[in-house]
Structure 1
Amino acid sequence: MKRIFDLTLAIFASLILSLPAIFVALLVKLTSPGPVIYWSDRVGRNNKVFNMPKFRTMRIDTPAVATHLLTNPERFLTPIGSFLRKSSLDELPQLLSIIKGDMSFVGPRPALFNQDDLIILRKSYGVDQLVPGLTGWAQINGRDELPIVEKVKLDAEYLKNKSISLDIKIVFLTFLKVVRRDGITH
């Protein structure tokens, strides 16, 4: 049932958001050198690494680490990078990952391949068994403001209580968070 929900919503969203996605792609291309899409190695279900697409918000010389590990991450942002991140428009290409099955609409946000502390902690809570999501319980309960331990505890809470009705609630609350720009640091 969850896969049908994901596919239906991803195809519908792709159709509706195709024009804004084309506009964002043009803005990325016109405002900074490099590719429009950034392919990030992420950890998926059962700790399998997959390539996750995002509209590029950082310069091409940015180290491949979590943003919070960069000293002065703002200096690596492209001219429209901050806007894309705050509006979550950089996430639009992840609809392709949902259609492909690497991601779901709701689940823990996929870890970077080199976030060993997060990967180990998720495995200890069994969260690694979930398909990673575009959004999740941790995202609507703090997003970037939460320490890793708290995020994983919230992801474990989602694992324990997951259901289609909870997924619908999380998608709706995510929409509200994005519109209000709650919990975004960069």
Structure 2
Amino acid sequence: MLKRLLDIVLVCAALLLLWPVMLFTAVLVRILLGGPVFFRQPRPGRNDRVFNMIKFRSMTNKTDANGQLLPDEVRLTSFGSFLRRSSLDELPGLLNVLRGDMSLVGPRPLLVEYLPLYNAEQKCRHNVRPGITGWAQVNGRNNLSWEDKFALDVWYVKNRSFALDIKILFLTILKVLQRADIEQDGHVTMSKFTGSTSATGEKHDQ
């Protein structure tokens, strides 16, 4: 209850302070990247309940001759890269927190297609609301391997506390100011998760 109360108070305060920034960013996205302004994608939340996560778009919708989207590195413009480095693309996620889909702090919500690929230990990350930021984000973010990222997520779930959430929020502010760990080495986005060793030693993959 205290965590949810903290979410609501901080998000309401952030929206009051940042709405001009959000409005200005939305106008720039519409002008420089076109419509729609928002990127919406189904993501699994607590207890695997699927919701639509919302962010500002950071890529164009350019396609090839067959109508297939071009690679991420082609569609990511310098403006889109700025949105990611500054974390401005994450601001609409405050609405997900206000609705109760997400929390300010928790494991980042990943793709729905990853759900059957988790091993028994990794599934623990869905015992709590996903977060805009989390323990993995302040300890390497996209420069972590999937195994390390999931290990940090599970550690958070097992050790979460009010004090830890406050620490993560402060560390997140520092990371945003430093613009650290935004991109995985050699990639503009995180490489896809294709499976992990299960508790029984078997490999889950697509």
Shift of 1:53: 0.6
How many angstroms apart in 1 are the aligned matches of 2:121 and 2:70? 28
Tell me, yes or no, if structure 1 residue 154 matches structure 2 residue 152. Answer: yes
Shift of 1:71: 8.8
Shift of 1:140: 0.2
Residue segments in structure 1 that go unaligned for 5+ positions in a row:
63-69
Identity of paired residues, percent?
Answer: 48
The structure whose RCO (Cα within 8 Å, separation 6+) is larger is 1
Q: Deviations over 1:79-119 (max 9, x none)?
A: 511000111000000000000000000000001122347x6
**TM-score, normalisation: structure 2:** 0.81
Tell me, yes or no, if structure 1 residue 106 matches structure 2 residue 105. Answer: yes
- Computed over aligned residues only, the root mean square deviation of the Cα atoms, in angstroms, reads 1.9
How many angstroms apart in 2 are the aligned matches of 1:169 and 1:49? 28
| SS of structure 2 residue aligned to 1:126 | helix
How many angstroms apart in 2 are the aligned matches of 1:97 and 1:173? 21
Shift of 1:25: 0.3
Shift of 1:125: 4.6
How many angstroms apart in 2 are the aligned matches of 1:134 and 1:147? 19
Counterpart for residue 164 of structure 2: 166
Residue segments in structure 2 that go unaligned for 5+ positions in a row:
64-68, 189-206
How many angstroms apart in 2 are the aligned matches of 1:19 and 1:130? 31
How many angstroms apart in 1 are the aligned matches of 2:76 and 2:157? 34
Number of equivalences = 178
Counterpart for residue 35 of structure 2: 34
How many angstroms apart in 2 are the aligned matches of 1:42 and 1:110? 6
How many angstroms apart in 2 are the aligned matches of 1:137 and 1:71? 32
Task: Say if 1:55 and 1:93, in contact at 8 Å, map to a contact too.
Answer: yes
Q: Deviations over 1:106-142 (max 9, x none)?
A: 000001122347x624764511111000000000000
Candidates 128, 132, 135, aligned match of 1:134 = 132
| SS of structure 2 residue aligned to 1:58 | coil
How many angstroms apart in 1 are the aligned matches of 2:70 and 2:155? 32
Counterpart for residue 22 of structure 2: 21
Alpha-carbon distance change, 122 to 180 in structure 1, aligned in 2, over 3 angstroms? farther
Q: Deviations over 1:34-83 (max 9, x none)?
A: 21011111111111111011000112257xxxxxxx99522011451100
Select the structure that is richer in helix: 1
| Aligned-partner residue type, residue 47 of structure 1 | D
Task: Say if 2:45 and 2:51, in contact at 8 Å, map to a contact too.
Answer: yes
Counterpart for residue 11 of structure 2: 10
